[in-house]
Amino acid sequence: MNSDPRTTPRRNRRHALAACLLATFGWVTGSSAQEPTWRTVDQLTEEERAQFDPNTAAPRDAAIPYLPAEPYPFEAPYTAEEMGYRSSEFAHIGRWSHSLVDVYGAITTSGYINQGVSVGYVMVTMPPGIEPYGAYLRDIKAGDVYARWMLYNTFPPETEAEQQLWMVYRTDPKITTKMDFFVYSPQMRRVRRQPQPRRDQRFPDNAQTFDDVMGRDPWELEWSLIGTDVLYKTVRYPNTRPTITLNDGQAGFVEKQTADIKPMSDEYPHYQSDGGVKCWVLKATVRRDLVPDYAEKTLLFWVDQHSFYPLRTEKYNLKDELIMIEVRNAEMANPEFGQHGYSASISLYWDLEHDIMSYSLHDGHTPHTWTPEQQAMIFTPEFMRRQWLVESVKSQALIEDPDHYFLRPEIHRDKFPAERKIVLAPELEARSQAEEAAGHLIFETAGASDTN
Amino acid sequence: MSRNARAIGGVLALVCLSAAPALGIAGEMSNMASKFDRAIATFNPIGKHVRKPIERAVPSLRFKGSVRQWSDFLIDTDDHIGFREQDFRFLQLQNLLELEMAYQVAPGLDINAVTHGLYDGVYDWQSSGGLFADGIDRTAEVYNDAERVLREFYVSYRTPRFDLLVGKQQVIWGKMDGQFIDIINGMDRRESVQLETEDFETRRLPTWMANTTLHFGRNSLQVLYMFDFEQDRQPLPGSPWASPFIPPASLSTDITHPVNRPSSSYFGDHEFGLRFDRSAGALTYGVIYGYLWDKNAIDHVIGVEPQLGQPSLLHFEPRHERLHHLGVTTDYATTMPQLPWVGSVPVVLRLEALWTHGVRFVDFTKQAAARAGDSTDGTAQHDTLRAAIAAEFGLPYNTTFILQPSYYHTFGWNKHLGYGFGGGIGDEWTILPVMFLSRTFAFSRDRLSAQFTALPVISGPEVGWQGIKTKLRVKYKFSQFVTGQLIYNGYDAGEPTDFYGQYDEWDNIGWELNYEF
């Protein structure tokens, strides 16, 4: 819970020296090649100090002792724990009723690409108008279903009409079952209840784990602030894909220049003059007393300083080695909830251990009030047998060619070196550098006649 | 044998080439494999040049399909087994084209059609005297009639609380692997003991019916009215999977008349089904009732022809029997906390059971009595029960383990009974403690997966061990449109008259290539 006892001035000087050496001899990308964009806690500006409460023993809620006593969404100054709670609000799927089409895929080192399209209906069992995460924390009883996600695959042909129903539970430190999970397979023509996926296990053919999708409950983590940073790019498009056609929900299909896509979308009012997004950088350590067999030891979150939206997440294993980077672009998907209305428009995950990069693009996101009849009809296991795509949501965002796949997330090797142990295989390091220079992924090793 | 080895080698080489980049094989080979990966990633010619233009031209039409080639060849070399001449190598060389269309006439109103074309090269592409089923029934080799080609054809009308589907369709009941309450449609069982759950979709025989479902809250009630009858198709004599221990008809002196089938033009012969389902949090359950015909006809003695100095000849008429089925299905999810080595383990439990009243069995004691002049049709009726409980465990490394003990029982059994629907296999009771293990391999970036299944058969009180079937399947995902599989099936132990034991010399290896567009 300590804010960061290890970030002494002397250590900071060493970090700055390390960053300079890396900038001279190694691979330092993006804007960080000039002045460092990151600062440790003791280097916070006055404005940031006013927003940050270093207290690590904030009073607890009388009724729900694992929650801070201050009512959600808290008020400045924020403790690291409160920042963690705020950032946990922004799970992969928005916490309000809506419909969308999820375009997703994964690519390997060789250029093998596997994609899918799934229309999603999300029904949250909270009255409309209530800030959803506060209601989740305070008003939903542990063990109760608070959301139902119905997913209907429309691509590829092999899984067309395959469906999944996720019935998502409010959990607490003791009631840890996160969902009931049903699958309908058109090949089997049967609805099958499936075991809940293991929380820290990568989905097959993907870099995402179950918890990456569901989100992590903040009370299972110990939070500290390790500093601030400015992010300029999160999800990066290659120079082989200059435009993308997105489903804007209300406005229909809109072609966008990929170079113009910003991390928090155009509406975000807090960009710096140079386009950067000021972030808190939080460290979350998994509480072994609550989650003893978890494969992840720590996570680092870059959350924007105004809504606490997590734009970048890094996961470290039990050996403290970086194993996964997630970067997101967000959009204001539900203005009704103000700064709580941001949602992921695209998330990119890079599993460094297996060098798999997967993405999930949420297209056509539309807040949706489901009628009582629709609630009773759509969000049940037996509905899947009807193979009924009630409302089609279309997307044109599939990647046509492996060469058009997203660039790897930036490593930012210079930032917070004391907290970040990054071990990349030499071949992967070389390949990444070559990709940075080329502006797109490279699938073949050096020396071949055709490098792409 | 060398020809088989070359075939296996060729397939393995193809898999290795494709897996090279995932396996980290450096250099030119890795680059070649990468070129292959990227080329096949977008290989979808029918999707691009047929499906897309059709759907663009007719926006209300959804059109998809698949091409599948699957072949199995025998490892064993015996030539003469029981009553069979096993002078063939390939058990199937099947090529299947499936086209699926759905046209939306109006919101909620659709016309759906699935057509199939199948050609099995086992009769043409190898020289064999033991394979002649194509001469008995042409559909063993090629689907050449409208009944087979037009696989499904129905009109569907949907409102939020009500579904009505009228036409030729397949209806699947149940949640388990195997068939427990899945009793509505007949099945093409040409693969005999090699037919498994993943094949049901292509082997099931759709039936003309009216199928309606009412939805209310968390409940649904389905009512079926079937005005056509489709019986099971067992392996024909002279087909690759015909049992080696069933004597050919030419050796029998008894006279078998044509099958007495239920008539679609007679209301009294129509079938009915009811299914109720409910979900309640971690528990879902359902109850079914079926008033159906037995899909397999049983020989009834309809006449006796005395022979001078010889046993009398019997006249048989195979008839289907009316059956009452009552079934239940349920499943439940939980998590087992903090087990050694594997940590928390998510688990799903499933249960399914079917009790059937009035199953008709051949009774060989009564047949003997009929031959001696007693007035009997040579059959007996008994109730049967078939049930299974399955536990599915989500283990680390994307590994799934399923343990599914299945149980079959004939009430009032005696050892002179033949086979009857749902009962013990050649015995009063039979247990199949099926084990299934599946996992993907991270080194291949999960493109490679393996599944192992063991199906031992034990029965009592007479027979005991009836053999074991083992199956190993290795699947590789070439792209999101093309997949390939290598499959080994082994049949071991048991006596030559036992369920699996009779196929002791039918161990085989197969491959399957599937392209969906």
Alpha-carbon distance B337 to nearest alpha carbon in chain A (angstroms) = 10
Q: How many helices (H) and strands (E) does chain B have?
A: 8, 25
Cβ contact A374–B41 (<8 Å): no
> Which CATH number goes with the domain that contains A378?
2.50.20.10
Q: Between A108, A382, A445, which is nearest B279 by CB?
A: A382
Could you tell me the residue range of the domain that residue A408 belongs to?
Answer: 9-59+81-438
Per 3-state DSSP, chain A is made up of helix, strand and coil in percentages (nearest 5) of 20, 30, 45
3-state secondary structure B57-98: HCCCEEEEEEEEEEEEEECCCCCEECCEECCCCEEEEEEEEE
Name the A residues in 357-396 with CB < 8 Å from any B CB: 373-374, 376-377, 380-383, 386, 388
A1 domain-assigned? no
* Residue of chain A with shortest Cα separation from B440: A204
Q: Which residues contact B304 (CB under 8 A, 6 or more apart)?
A: B312, B313, B314, B315, B370, B371, B373
Position A2 in a domain: no
Residue A358 lies in a domain: yes
Contacts of A377 in chain B (CB under 8 A): 160-161, 215
Cβ atoms B215, B443 nearer than 8 A? no
Interface with chain B: mutation pick from A178, A378, A382, highest number of B CBs within 10 Å: A382
Listed as ranges, residues in chain A with pLDDT below 50 are 1-33, 448-452
Chain A's closest residue to B441, CA to CA, is A204
Burial of A98 (0-12, 13-18, 19+ CB in 10 A): buried
Residue of B nearest to A404 (CA): B38
pLDDT at residue B11 in the model: 52
Is B342 or A86 the better-scoring residue by pLDDT? A86
Interchain proximity A113–B480, CB inside 8 Å? yes
Residue A68 located in a structural domain: no
Mean pLDDT (whole number) for B152-168:
96
- B350 and A193 within 8 Å at the Cβ level: the answer is yes
In this structure, what DSSP letter does residue A144 have?
Answer: S
Longest distance between any two alpha carbons in chain A, whole Å: 68
Is some CB atom of chain B closer than 8 A to the CB atom of A196?
yes
Q: Write the residue in B31, B393, B442 that is nearest to A354 by C-beta.
A: B442
> Is A448 among the domain residues?
no
**Is A411 among the domain residues?**
yes
* Least Cα separation, residue B279 to chain A (angstroms): 7
**How many alpha carbons lie under 13 Å from residue B254 in its C-beta half-sphere?**
20
Residue A13: predicted pLDDT? 46
B222: amino acid identity, one letter: Q
Set of chain A residues whose Cβ sits within 8 Å of the Cβ of B31: 444-445, 448
- Give the tens place of pLDDT for each residue, B387-432: 999 999 999 988 999 999 999 999 999 999 999 999 999 999 999 9
Count Cβ atoms below 10 Å from residue A33 Cβ, excluding itself.
Answer: 10
pLDDT digits (tens, 9 = 90+) for B372-397: 999 999 999 999 999 999 999 999 98
Q: What are phi and psi of B231, to 5 degrees?
A: -85, 165
Does pLDDT of B90 surpass 90? Answer: yes
Amino acid residing at B355:
W
Residues B100 and B63 sit within 8 Å (Cβ to Cβ): yes
In B, minimum Cα distance to A373 occurs at B160
Mean pLDDT of B251-267: 93
pTM for this entry: 0.90
Which residues of chain A does B334 touch, with a Cβ-Cβ cutoff of 8 Å? 177
Reported as a single tens digit per residue, the pLDDT across A95-154 is 999 999 999 999 999 999 999 999 999 999 877 677 899 999 999 999 999 999 999 999
Q: For all residues of chain A together, what is the average pLDDT?
A: 90
Give residue B12's pLDDT band: very low, low, confident or very high (50, 70, 90).
low
Half-sphere exposure of residue B147: CA atoms within 13 angstroms, side-chain side: 9
Structure confidence at residue B276 (pLDDT):
97
Q: Token pair for residue B176?
A: 């388990």
In a domain, A320, yes or no: yes
- Predicted local distance difference test score (pLDDT) of residue B338: 77
CB contact under 8 A, B338 and A110: no
Rg of chain A over Cα atoms, rounded to whole angstroms, equals 22
Which residue of B lies nearest to A113 if distances are taken between CA atoms? Answer: B41
Closest to A352 measured CA to CA, from A403, A300, A427, A284: A427
Q: How many angstroms separate the CA of residue A349 from the nearest CA in chain B?
A: 15
B330 Cα distance to chain centroid? 22
Query: In terms of Cα–Cα distance, which of A223, A224, A226 is closest to A40?
Result: A226
Answer whether A201 sits within 8 Å of B397, measured CB to CB. Answer: yes
B15 band by pLDDT with thresholds 50, 70 and 90:
low
Taking the domains of chain B in order of start, what are their residue ranges?
50-74+87-153
Q: Is the ipTM of this complex over 0.95?
A: no
Tens-place pLDDT, residues B206-246: 999 999 999 988 899 999 999 999 999 999 999 999 999 88
Contact A157 B170 (CB under 8 A): no
Mark yes or no for CB contact B483/A158 under 8 Å. Answer: yes
CB A182, CB A192: distance < 8 Å? yes
Number of domains composing chain A = 1
Nearest to A347 by CA among A310, A386, A389: A310
